[in-house]
């Protein structure tokens, strides 16, 4: 019983950490990387699909992403989707290749992005703490059902707390790395 609760809590905390790391990749730095466009959706014959499902996305150089549509008629739609996304990018098509230059980040924009990243981190910490609360409530319910002893509950809660501390430390480490990445000129 206790092990099932701990395993479930660890899986959920792991998913929260992965979701946070995925959210961090959306926040762009001055360097180009293809993952930036993963969440840009393009209208493909009536359904919205990610850019990487209708085109090859590659790096042309350190500050430019190249997008090559698989179908000629998709170039304009992809370009419009990238321009309309909230990423602040300005693509330019050259024949069947779309060049997406990464603009330099101003100091003010860097500070704004750090605020966004910190709020994402706080959301991830809250999610991990909520998982801890749910696990502790499950332990309390198991005691009420007389499935476990109070000593088992206390040990389980201690293990959950250690797990929570570990995942929050991971979140803080990822946050610090992203902040350093954003502030690097």
Note down pLDDT in tens along the chain; length 185 residues.
888 989 999 999 999 999 998 888 777 666 677 777 777 889 888 888 888 888 888 888 878 889 888 888 888 888 888 888 867 788 888 888 888 888 777 788 788 788 888 988 999 999 999 999 999 999 899 888 888 888 888 999 999 999 999 999 999 999 999 888 888 76
CATH number at residue 146: 1.10.132.20
- Domain span at 118: 1-27+106-183
Tokens of 3: 């092990």
d(CA 47, CA 57): 20
Give the predicted TM-score (pTM) of the model.
0.67
Contact of 79 with 93, CB cutoff 8 Å:
yes
Q: Could you tell me which of 166, 123, 126, 105 has the C-alpha nearest to residue 24?
A: 123
CATH number at residue 96: 3.30.1360.40
Question: What pLDDT shows up at residue 133?
Answer: 94
Question: What pLDDT shows up at residue 145?
Answer: 87
Instruction: Tell me: do 86 and 133 sit in the same domain.
Output: no
Burial environment of residue 173 by CB neighbours within 10 A (0 to 12, 13 to 18, 19 or more): exposed
């Amino acid at each position: 019983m206790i092990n099932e609760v701990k395993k479930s809590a660890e899986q959920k905390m792991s998913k929260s950490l992965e979701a946070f790391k995925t959210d961090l990749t959306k926040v762009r730095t001055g360097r180009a990387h293809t993952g930036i466009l993963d969440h840009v959706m393009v209208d493909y014959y009536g359904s919205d699909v990610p850019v990487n499902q209708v085109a090859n996305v590659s790096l042309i150089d350190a500050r430019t992403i190249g997008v090559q549509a698989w179908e000629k008629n998709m170039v304009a739609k992809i370009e419009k989707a990238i321009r309309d996304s909230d990423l602040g990018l300005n693509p330019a098509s050259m024949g069947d290749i779309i060049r997406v230059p990464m603009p330099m980040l101003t100091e003010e924009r860097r500070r704004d992005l750090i605020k966004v990243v910190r709020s994402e981190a706080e959301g991830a910490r809250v999610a991990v703490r909520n998982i801890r609360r749910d696990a502790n409530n499950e332990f309390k319910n198991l005691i009420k059902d007389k499935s476990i002893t109070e000593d088992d509950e206390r040990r389980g809660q201690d293990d959950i707390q250690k797990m929570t501390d570990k995942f929050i430390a991971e979140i803080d480490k990822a946050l610090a790395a992203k902040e350093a990445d954003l502030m690097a000129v």
